[in-house]
Amino acid sequence: MLVGKESFCDFHTIQEAIAVLEQSASNEMETLTILSGTYEEEVRIYRSYLHIIGIGQVEIRMDRYAKERDEAGEEIGTFATPTLFLGGSHLILENLTISNTAGQGEAIGQAVAVYAHCDETVFRNCTFKGHQDTLFTGPLPPAPKERLQFGGIHLKEHHRHYRQLYQHCYIEGTVDFIFGGATAYFEDCEIRSLRHHKNQTSYVTAASTPQGQAYGYVFNHCYLTAEPDITPVFLGRPWREYAKTVFVDCKMGDHIDPRGWDNWDNVANEKTVCYQEYNGPDEVATLRKQRVPWADCFEAGTEAWSKEQVFAEVTFWK
């Protein structure tokens, strides 16, 4: 199927094409090609076995935000805001830019670009743009911290595992802009911190890895960059107490706070999280002097953090 603005295209919006594809629940991989252009729409995909390819400059964008009010006057909350929602498995997305253009500020709150409630999914050469909570890698934690329910998009399917691979992607944001409970592997990605609207402390990750899950976030050969004149940024803080985040052979700009990690104002988290960095011997010696004592730094032993090891039971990443 072909989506684009031209008269010869099958559909002019992405969601129209998805509606047709979801009429049949097939285990055969379908391919959706999107021609260059800007698509201002919310895209909701529940289908599995789907390959989406963008040709040229393809941007999907919308501007929903957590503080926005619904018809009853209630705030819609974080998980009603994504520009793109993925709820299935066996998905491949290539050469797409997904943006939440709501901006930032106290009147905006969280604004998700991608809600990846999916398993065995590959993102290649994709760009994710937003500020607070840009990329959510499902699943949700068992319960919210501050409200009765998470709300947001209806979840038709719950997976046993949530395994995702991000290759040569660009992800930007301010606070907790990569967050969630998935086993997510980021390879050769640029992770860019934007300036907080009040230039306050920001955090790259906020994992909520379920207790007992072997892997959380793995960043392998990634590049952590930032806008100029930014307040020091932490590598992560735990959205839930068993958060796991590992950086392997990554290059980090001077914007990263020397302490590295934050406990989210809860000392108890320091005993349960798994925060690690693997680098060369000279870098490790320096990091051990600077990082918080409850995070670990090791000389590069990258075999344990290869895709073959992290995704040992599946082949989708190949």
Taking the chain (318 residues) in runs of 10, the rounded mean pLDDT of each run is 97 98 90 98 98 98 98 96 98 98 98 98 98 98 89 96 98 98 98 96 98 97 96 98 96 96 98 94 88 91 86 95
Res 301: pLDDT? 66
Q: Is residue 277 part of a domain?
A: yes
Q: Is residue 33 part of a domain?
A: yes
| Number of C-beta neighbours around residue 231 at 10 A | 15
Res 281: pLDDT? 84
What is the domain-level CATH number for residue 73? 2.160.20.10
Looking at the structure of the chain, the number of domains it has is 1
Res 283: pLDDT? 86
> Token digits for 113?
């670009």
Residue from 133, 176, 257, 262 carrying the catalytic annotation: 176
Q: Residue 187 is part of which domain span?
A: 27-310
* Euclidean distance between CA atoms 92 and 68, whole angstroms: 31
Q: Is residue 39 part of a domain?
A: yes
* Euclidean distance between CA atoms 166 and 8, whole angstroms: 32
Examine the residue annotation and report whether 176 is marked as an active-site residue of this protein: yes
Q: Is residue 318 part of a domain?
A: no
283 phi/psi in degrees, rounded to 5: -65, -40
* Euclidean distance between CA atoms 108 and 14, whole angstroms: 26
Q: Is residue 17 part of a domain?
A: no
